[in-house]
Structure 1
Amino acid sequence: MSCNNACYFQTAQGDVTLRSVDNVDFRVYKCILAEASPFFKDLFTLPQPPSQEMDTPVIDVSEDAEVLNVMLGLIYPGTDPKLETLDSISQALAVAMKYEAVRAIETLRRLLVSPPLLEAEPLRIYAIACRFDLEEEARIASRHTLRLNILDSDLSDDLKYITAYSYHRLLNLHRRRAQAALKELKLEDDVKCMQCSASHYGAISPPRWWTDFERRAREELSVRPTSDIVFSMEFLAQSSNTGCQRCPGSILDSYAFLQRVKQKIDDLPSTI
């Protein structure tokens, strides 16, 4: 728990006390909670039993102090909880959805698809977005999963909360994009190597670098249907090394062709 925020809510003035499941009290104002949450707005219209020993009414909630502190930090002015992990964001989303805290939900949606998290754990983000019916965030995350081998990825607990339909949509995106990407691996007639592109009965054989590149690119695109790896310098260099002495020059001469193939793959549908 953020000590600064927790101490703030425990010492602040207020006209209502929220008591966490682990018996930590948070003093807040009804007007702020009612403005942020229709749940609390409706709750405060109900008759409240008089407090026996305290100046302010006490409302018991089912969240622990850490989670409650985060939620209040998202909706209460002057506070800024630090949410940097998917676990904390997921927990906060569950509470914000429960209490219908619209502004908190908007903040958490932005945090969920922050670039560092998308780079590190796109599959978990997709699962969390699907769990909470965040369609736009699910679409964003699905694009970033293209660089993963989905069937070889770790099974996170977040996947327990999504439907078979949501998981199938993601698998279908990968399958269809892979099939479409493989169709773009077509060698143009003017791509040749001066040394190893031999003529056989009027037909020109492909350069050795292309034969190696196409084989490995098919393997890679079948499991990770994105152009990031197959058109990297490291990937092309490996194909160059398997070719003849003039294959490196042939690859350089084929730069425009390779960029066209890459662009065609990049232009394929990339989200669910």
Structure 2
Amino acid sequence: MTSSVQVTTLDHPYSAPHPACQAKAPFDDPEAEIILRSSDNVEFRVFKLFLAFSSSIFRDMLSLPQPSDDPQTVDLTESSTVLRLFLLCCYPVTCLPTYPFQPSDIADVAEAAQKYDAPSVTTYLRQIILSPHNLQNKSVAAFAVCDRFQWREEAKKAAFHTLKHRLPTATGKRTQRAQQWFLESNAIPEALFIQLTDYHSRCGTAASNVGKELRWAISFPTKRPRHQCERVSVPRYSGFNTGGSITLPEWFADFVKETSELFAGDPDVQSVLADHRVSDALLIAGADCSGCRSAAPVFMQNNFVPQYRSRVEKALEEVELYT
């Protein structure tokens, strides 16, 4: 026979919606000293040591005298899904699931970690929110979770990875519906979405300015084509700051101008400086000038593009998320 303790925020007595069922391993050990029952009536057999080590709330509760030696049953308001993930975070690392935690799961478990004062669980959640899976596929949702729980450092990293995705705009009825779906699917409040949009805009400006400020590229004359290009840029490219009156090959000026404009609306380094765009520039270079045909590939692939990419990434990292 087991004793029962109720931990719930409900004002009325707990009533199970259906007969209790046993949780799967590792929460089915008959030697466990306590049973935690979820809101959907799933019973988790847990060892007190792991629970007390992770949560001060449970540690205090478990320190109280018990009416019998039988395992006590504690009714909780969390669902079995949330409770299982929370308890897995309390158990040794070998018990953790191999599949990635989704941002929505992390948010639910983070709430439980706050409720039960489990800082070690929160620390673990702040690590896995930045898993490769979440950053590549769920970066906006991950950012929303980080902001919600004021994980500022993680929020900045997640926001940086959202630059790989274009954010929807609400300029018409169709795009308004698309934006609403985007907000709901990523569980991001509208005010936070506006803040993220502003961050994207400022990142676009920072990335675009790198292409307009070319003194860093011109300062490496030994790594530029040493011949005189047969087709130098025309006056419309005079907006580039080259640190002097140096003229640029027309194909090169076209490439920098195009990428600079693309960065303004899409500050994704991998997309804007994609291999196909560099290859297109080299094809034009070869058609425009016989000297560039041989010199441009080495200059672009070994020197300019890697530096360009590095400087844009550095400029993006310096953009503040919260202003």
TM-score, reference length from structure 1: 0.78
Question: Do the aligned residues in 2 keep the contact of 1:22 with 1:65 (CA within 8 Å)?
Answer: yes
Aligned position for 1:34 = 52
Question: Do the aligned residues in 1 keep the contact of 2:168 with 2:182 (CA within 8 Å)?
Answer: no
Q: 1:25 aligns with which of 39, 43, 46?
A: 43
Secondary structure of the residue aligned to 1:221 is: helix
User: Structure 1 residues 20-29 or 250-259, which shifts more?
Assistant: 250-259
Aligned position for 1:84 = 100
Supply the distance in 2 between the matched residues of 1:259 and 1:223 (Cα, whole angstroms).
21
Q: Show the 5 A alignment for 1:36-185.
A: 36-44=54-62, 55-77=70-92, 79-86=95-102, 87-151=104-168, 155-157=182-184, 159-162=186-189, 164=191, 166-185=192-211
Question: Do the aligned residues in 2 keep the contact of 1:208 with 1:242 (CA within 8 Å)?
Answer: no
Q: 2:275 aligns with which of 233, 242, 252?
A: 233
Q: 1:194 aligns with which of 229, 233, 242?
A: 229
CA spacing shift, 1:42–1:76, aligned 2, 3 Å: same
Task: Indicate the RMSD between aligned Cα atoms, in angstroms.
Answer: 3.5
Can you give the 5+ residue segments of structure 1 that lack an aligned partner in the other structure? none
Q: 2:310 aligns with which of 258, 263, 266?
A: 263
Supply the distance in 1 between the matched residues of 2:122 and 2:145 (Cα, whole angstroms).
13
- Following TM superposition, by how much is the alpha carbon of 1:60 offset from its aligned partner in structure 2, in angstroms? 0.8
Can you give the 5+ residue segments of structure 2 that lack an aligned partner in the other structure? 1-21, 170-178, 236-244
CA spacing shift, 1:130–1:254, aligned 2, 3 Å: same
- Following TM superposition, by how much is the alpha carbon of 1:198 offset from its aligned partner in structure 2, in angstroms? 6.8
Question: Do the aligned residues in 2 keep the contact of 1:19 with 1:26 (CA within 8 Å)?
Answer: yes
Supply the distance in 1 between the matched residues of 2:78 and 2:131 (Cα, whole angstroms).
26
Q: 1:209 aligns with which of 251, 258, 264?
A: 251
